């Protein structure tokens, strides 16, 4: 049989299934089901997924909230006064703005305390990647992402933008202090 000639038997698909073929279909089906149920399982029992919430927000409204947050809890500045370092009270809501090509402000958190980290972008899509932890969150304008975090190791962490956002994407880095 070729694709040019018509099949000799018109009803050619009513052949019994070969055992090997059936076995492979069963293996593939079983494996896809295992992978499917691993997703909810891993979300609950795996430790790498941050349960996130997301809300719609107008960028200017988010900026206002972040601005108020920064004005309230700034403890010092870095980069010759250009970047405020903000130390919010333990357990509070903390805000981070992603924009071309900056994370604003710098956060200083307390070890072992839980915070609700709010993330949103002012302009385009950015990516929040916390190094060396394995946290990756897409940051989009118009959406306020809220992630509950409990930093359990003191130190200086790096925040890297991992979604390409233009010519200076590679310079969009920041820090997060945990003390
Ligand atoms: Cu922001 Cu890449």
Q: Tens of pLDDT along 70-100?
A: 999 988 888 887 889 999 998 899 999 999 9
Ligand 1, residue 166: give the atom nearest the CA.
2
Average confidence (pLDDT) over 123-146: 91
Q: Are 93 and 119 in contact (CB under 8 A)?
A: no
* Torsion angles phi and psi, residue 104, rounded to 5: -140, 130
Protein residue whose Cα sits closest to atom 1 of ligand 1: 126
Q: Is the CB of 99 under 6 A from ligand 1?
A: no
Give the tokens for residue 23. 């076995």
| Rounded Cα–Cα distance for residues 139 and 79 (Å) | 24
Q: Separation of 126 CA from ligand 1 center, angstroms?
A: 5
Average confidence (pLDDT) over 115-144: 92
Average confidence (pLDDT) over 124-144: 91
Q: Is the CB of 163 under 6 A from ligand 1?
A: yes
Give the tokens for residue 14. 């009513």
Q: Are 73 and 96 in contact (CB under 8 A)?
A: no
pLDDT at 119: 95
Assess whether pLDDT exceeds 60 at residue 1. Answer: no
Assess whether pLDDT exceeds 80 at residue 3. Answer: no
| Rounded Cα–Cα distance for residues 101 and 161 (Å) | 9
Give the helix/strand (H/E) hosting 126. strand 126-131
Q: Is the CB of 139 under 6 A from ligand 1?
A: no
Closest C-alpha to 106, from 31, 21, 20, 177: 177
**What are the beta bridge partners of residue 117?**
94, 147
pLDDT at 2: 62
Chain Cα centroid distance, residue 118: 12
- Our CA dihedral for 75, 134, 40, 151, rounded to 10 degrees, sits at -30
Q: Is the CB of 161 under 6 A from ligand 1?
A: yes
Q: Separation of 140 CA from ligand 1 center, angstroms?
A: 11
Radius of gyration of the chain (CA): 25
* Number of separate helices (H) and strands (E) present in the chain: 2, 12
**Angle, vertex CA 157, rays to CA 128 and CA 60, nearest 5:** 40
Q: Separation of 124 CA from ligand 1 center, angstroms?
A: 8
Half-sphere exposure of 115 (CA within 13 A, CB side): 22
For residue 49, name the pLDDT band (cuts at 50, 70, 90). low
pLDDT at 11: 81
Q: Separation of 128 CA from ligand 1 center, angstroms?
A: 9
Closest C-alpha to 64, from 55, 76, 72: 72
């Amino acid at each position: 049989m070729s694709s040019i000639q018509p099949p000799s038997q018109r009803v050619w698909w009513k052949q019994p299934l070969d055992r090997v073929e059936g076995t492979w279909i069963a293996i593939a089906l079983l494996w896809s089901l295992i992978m499917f149920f691993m997703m909810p399982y891993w979300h609950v029992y795996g430790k790498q997924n941050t349960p996130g919430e997301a809300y719609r927000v107008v960028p200017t409204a988010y900026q206002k909230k972040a601005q108020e947050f920064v004005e309230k809890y700034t403890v010092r500045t870095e980069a010759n006064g250009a970047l405020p370092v903000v130390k919010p009270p333990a357990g509070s809501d903390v805000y981070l703005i992603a924009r071309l090509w900056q994370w604003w402000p710098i956060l200083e958190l307390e070890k072992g305390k839980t915070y609700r980290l709010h993330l949103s972008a002012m302009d385009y899509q950015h990516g929040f990647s916390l190094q060396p932890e394995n946290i990756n969150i897409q940051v989009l304008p118009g959406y306020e992402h809220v992630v509950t975090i409990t930093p359990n190791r003191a130190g200086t962490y790096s925040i890297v933008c991992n979604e390409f956002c233009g010519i200076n994407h590679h310079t969009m880095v920041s820090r997060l202090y945990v003390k």
